[in-house]
Amino acid sequence: MTKKVISKSVASISPSATEETSFLANKLKSQGIDIISFAQGEPDFDTPDNIKRVSNMSIYIDEKICKGCGLCVQICPNNVFQMRNKVNDKGFIIPEVINENKCIKCKLCELTCPDLAIFLE
Ligand code: SF4
Ligand code: SF4
């Protein structure tokens, strides 16, 4: 018989409360107990249209308007941009999107840009 070895670090991690609640609910159900569980589960409604619309938005930077102030780069909470390699026609170093998958669609970049050069659509 093989012996399972778990590191002390892994063994010290507590299970998530959500997982524990689900486990307990399933255990009670398997015992035939009629319970209503408010643990994790699939919603019984379709994703609302406004959420779908926002999740499909992309980031656009109007390179002709951007003056490379970097405010959008500084305000973004998830480091979606970098200002390093891209230069526009006016010679300004402008932001580029490097981590669009990290964008949480908060629109802080759009609200911060003094020139309305960046937007989500
Ligand atoms: S919408 Fe928010 S997370 Fe996305 S790029 Fe703009 S500031 Fe960053
Ligand atoms: S805040 Fe606007 S003008 Fe400034 S770097 Fe970002 S997009 Fe360009």
User: In the predicted model, what is the mean pLDDT of the chain?
Assistant: 91
Kindly list the structural domains of the chain, giving each domain's residue range(s) and its CATH number in brackets, ordered by start.
15-44 (no CATH), 49-120 (3.30.70.20)
Distance CA 118, CA 84 (A): 17
- Kindly give the distance from the C-alpha atom of residue 102 to the centroid of ligand 1, in angstroms, as a whole number: 8
pLDDT in tens, 34-74: 988 888 877 788 889 988 888 889 999 999 999 999 999 99
Q: Is 76's C-beta closer than 6 angstroms to any atom of ligand 1? A: yes
Mean predicted confidence (pLDDT) in 10-19: 85
Instruction: Tell how far CA 111 is from the center of its chain.
Output: 19
Confidence of residue 17 (pLDDT cuts 50, 70, 90): confident
- Take atom 7 of ligand 1 and give the residue whose Cα is closest: 76
CA angle 20, 25, 29 (to 5 degrees): 150
**How do strand 81-82 and strand 59-61 relate by DSSP bridges?**
unpaired
pTM of the model: 0.67
